Amino acid sequence: MLFNIVLTELKSRNMKAKIIIFNLIFCLFITSCKEPIVSFEVPQPENVKEQKAFPNKLIGTYYNSENDTELIIREYLIFKRVLTKDTLKISELSTNEIIKNDTLYKIDSDEKYKVVTINDSLFSNYVLFDTVFNLKKTDVLKKFKGYYFLNKTIKKTGFWQVQKLNLTKGVLCINRIETENDIRLLENSTNSKKDTIKPFIVKPTKKQFKEFIKKNGFSTGEIYIKQ
């Protein structure tokens, strides 16, 4: 997965801050790159035309209040923006650091960071950007039965991870295949059986894939509100 991280207004000034930042980045990376429990042999649905770009009705910024995350859809890509806040006591500053107006300076270098000072505390923000879908790379977008399907190549195997995207009255849902019930539905729809080795690899026909959707496959997901 393409994984981009942009840090802004970040005061990575001591080992404690660096450890916190590393842990946050590591958790985001693991979440983004977790291998799916189901892989498809070809982009889904099969024998459906690929979309060259996202339509205008999907382009925009969406917000998930549960995890304070923005999802931004552009013509060719989708990325997440996560704002994380950090605090530090002024009394913890070293002799190498000074504050002027709204900026923290390190005397022995050119480093400087935007901060907000309230009483004895400094507040600083950093932003993480995670590109989750990119049509300019190897990702494939398809539209079927009113839904958009995000097909991403799994580099390790060459198979495909598939997510279902839907926008209704300003509410955007991105759903995945993650539950045992999803697995059973796929087994029944495709007349195949999952073995003990993960992931479950399937190649449904367009009709079988339609049946899987109709029976509420892709049951796990995230909800965003259009801004």
Closest CA to 192 of 205, 175, 179: 205
Q: Show me where the domains of the chain are located.
A: 1-34+86-132, 36-58+135-227
pTM above the 0.75 mark?
A: no
Residue 3's φ and ψ, nearest 5 degrees, are: -130, 110
CA distance 38 to 158: 13
Joined together, the tokens standing for residue 132 give 């989750």
Residue 158 Ramachandran class (φ > 0 left, ψ -120 to 50 alpha, else beta): left
Q: What is the pLDDT of residues 81-104, one digit of tens each?
A: 887 666 777 787 788 888 887 777
Q: What is the pLDDT of residues 155-181, one digit of tens each?
A: 888 999 999 999 999 999 999 999 999
**Percentage of residues of the chain with pLDDT beyond 90:** 54
Q: Which residue has the higher pLDDT, 16 or 33?
A: 33
Radius of gyration of the CA atoms of the chain, in A: 22
For 19-50, letters b (16+ CB in 10 Å) and e give: eebeebeeebeeeeeeebbbbbeebbbbeeee
Q: Does pLDDT of 17 surpass 80?
A: no
Mean pLDDT on 197-213:
92
**Do residues 152 and 1 lie in contact, with contact meaning Cβ atoms separated by under 8 Å?**
yes
